[in-house]
Structure 1
Amino acid sequence: MDITGNAVIFGGGGGIGRSTALLFAQSNASAVVVADLNLEAAESAAAEAKRAATNPKFRAEALRVDVTIQESVDSVFDHVTTSIGRMDYCVNCAGFPVKTARQTADADVAEFFRVQDINLRGTFFVVRAACAIMRSQDLLPNLAEFPERGSTRGSIVTLGSVLSLGASPYLMQYTTSKHAVLGLTKTAAIDHAADGIRVNCVCPTWVDTNMTKQVCEDVPGIEETLIPSVPLGRIAKPEEIADAIVFLSSPRASFVTGCPFIIDGGASLSSNR
């Protein structure tokens, strides 16, 4: 995968973020910084990454972060630039699930703004700061042996959803946030393409994580719709989403930016599903 640099993963304590931290370590990254609201989870993920690392000089660190607070996000980046140095890959997996499923007319106002606060506001803080830092970094070849594949100052991956591109009944608060994440990603990509910064968005359907399990508990009846909606007959494993994130981060995706990378087992192929 030609992963050689340093990665920062927001929401890296569990689920997709944890799998991504582990895969960066397994793919020869030099360092991984795991930032999460749950510091204990971040520390556990960082320790697991250390055990799995293939780079003999690998470093892993854990930090607490609240992505809804700009100063908290900035403090993570301040630590990275002073302690780790260059930031080659930045991933934002921090997110908030649906607690209630209602028609728009009955939507919970407080939940709507809470979902935007974490999924959108948090993504904005992360992407804005990451672009500013990467813009100041040295321009390096994507692949030294293939100079025609251009140069990079860094790569950013956001976590969207299949609902970044479509809609689902009763999930207005979540759908709105994920549409906005994709719009933010595309704008950042076009704003900073000339700076050698790529920004992409992974868009999965349901993934086998604690967050999905919590949604199934909070929203009655939703679990029965998951498997039938996916032509491949199962929901995704977090490792499968991590595969796409690390690919998009890597120089193997050197000509990919502003892309919504759909990972849904075929669920979006038919409007009848």
Structure 2
Amino acid sequence: MSENVGRKRFPDFDLAGGTYIVTGGARGLGLCLAEAIVEAGGEVHCLDRAEKPEEEFEEAKQRVRPESGGSLHYAQVDVRDTKCLDEVIGRIAARRNRLNGLVAAAGVQQITQAVDYTAEDVTRMLEINYTGLFMTATATARQMFKYKCRGSMCLIASMSGVVANKGLLTPVYNSSKAAVIQLARSLAMEWSSIKEDGTGGIRVNCLSPGHIITPMVEKNFEEVPGLKEKWEGENLMGRLSTPQEFKGACIFLMSNASSFMTGSNLIIDGGHTAW
């Protein structure tokens, strides 16, 4: 019998036994990444502002294979509600006295010419895309420090944080994602090394996708005729991506496979920014 029989393939990508939080996890990219962590063996708690998750979430739950060891859960949380966010994350960590990582995917977009934005528009978007993400990361870190858990955070940014998207007027969204990329560097500087009291050891990286076909993007196509074709033409691969194409990157960033990676921004855009 081969000595490899019964051994896990690529054990560095294994997330079994860990507890993870995914914000924006009710649908779209967030849910897809949550499902990836479940497939790798993790217990995943999806947080989103909807009272109940959409049918897409229930379908994902049905796909969970018991033999993976993973599980998928849901809690209603608006990332702008810092008190509720702290309480929910605290309860999740207390279930098993551990918290091993975060995928921060909650975000909103608004198509508006810069001269037509109101201060209220800007504040609303930044409250979710930046402040909410920041507060989620710090609430998670406090629990990881409390239980002295090493782990990883994957902040979902965007290639829009490094380039302006042709044909799409989203100046606040773009600048909020640029802020997330810089935030990851700053948090990585504070949290990556292990301190004398045993805290730390939290790696923080960004995942910056290119154009993905999600409900938010499909709404963009309705609002801007011809946008889909334009984006496809601006891409080295001549097509847009699907959420499933980012699952591997998420597992890489959350697992020991990326153990020497922190403060980085992983751009996966089909070559859009390589022109």
TM-score, length-scaled by structure 2? 0.85
Is residue 110 of structure 1 aligned with residue 120 of structure 2?
yes
The percent of aligned pairs where both chains have the same amino acid is: 28
Contact 1:163 1:178 in 2 (8 A): yes
For 1:193 and 1:247, the matched residues in 2 are separated by 17
Q: CA deviation at 1:50?
A: 5.7
Task: List runs of 5+ in structure 2 lacking aligned partners.
Answer: 1-12, 194-199
Letter in 2 for 1:192: W
Choose from 9, 15, 19 the match for 1:3.
Answer: 15
Contact 2:64 2:70 in 1 (8 A): no
For 2:41 and 2:111, the matched residues in 1 are separated by 38
Distance 1:168 1:57, change over 3 A: closer
Deviations 1:190-249 (A, max 9, x none): 111111100111001111110111122234553332111111111111011232122100
Deviations 1:39-92 (A, max 9, x none): 322686266246323546544321001011111211220221222431112111
Contact 1:43 1:61 in 2 (8 A): no
Contact 2:252 2:258 in 1 (8 A): yes
Contact 1:65 1:73 in 2 (8 A): yes
Q: In the alignment, what sits opposite 1:174?
A: 173
For 2:56 and 2:216, the matched residues in 1 are separated by 18
Q: In the alignment, what sits opposite 1:39?
A: 51
Is residue 122 of structure 1 aligned with residue 132 of structure 2?
yes
Choose from 80, 83, 89 the match for 1:71.
Answer: 83
Choose from 141, 156, 162 the match for 1:131.
Answer: 141
Contact 2:64 2:71 in 1 (8 A): no
Matched residue SS, 1:180: helix
Write the mapping of 1:244-259 to structure 2, written as runs, cut at 5 A: 244-259=249-264
Choose from 223, 237, 246 the match for 2:242.
Answer: 237
Letter in 1 for 2:201: G
Matched residue SS, 2:52: helix
Task: List runs of 5+ in structure 1 lacking aligned partners.
Answer: 140-152
Write the mapping of 1:9-88 to structure 2, written as runs, cut at 5 A: 9-29=22-42, 31-41=43-53, 45=57, 48-49=60-61, 51-55=63-67, 57-88=69-100
Choose from 258, 265, 268 the match for 1:260.
Answer: 265
Is residue 212 of structure 1 aligned with residue 224 of structure 2?
no
For 1:257 and 1:126, the matched residues in 2 are separated by 18
For 1:11 and 1:76, the matched residues in 2 are separated by 15
Matched residue SS, 2:221: helix
Distance 1:93 1:120, change over 3 A: same
Letter in 1 for 2:72: A
Distance 1:197 1:43, change over 3 A: farther
Which sits farther off after the overlay, 260-269 or 38-47?
Answer: 38-47
For 2:56 and 2:97, the matched residues in 1 are separated by 23
Distance 1:247 1:49, change over 3 A: farther
Contact 2:39 2:70 in 1 (8 A): no
Choose from 204, 207, 215 the match for 1:202.
Answer: 207
Superposition CA RMSD, Å: 2.0
For 1:81 and 1:269, the matched residues in 2 are separated by 41
Which sits farther off after the overlay, 125-134 or 39-48?
Answer: 39-48
Contact 1:12 1:42 in 2 (8 A): no
For 2:250 and 2:119, the matched residues in 1 are separated by 32
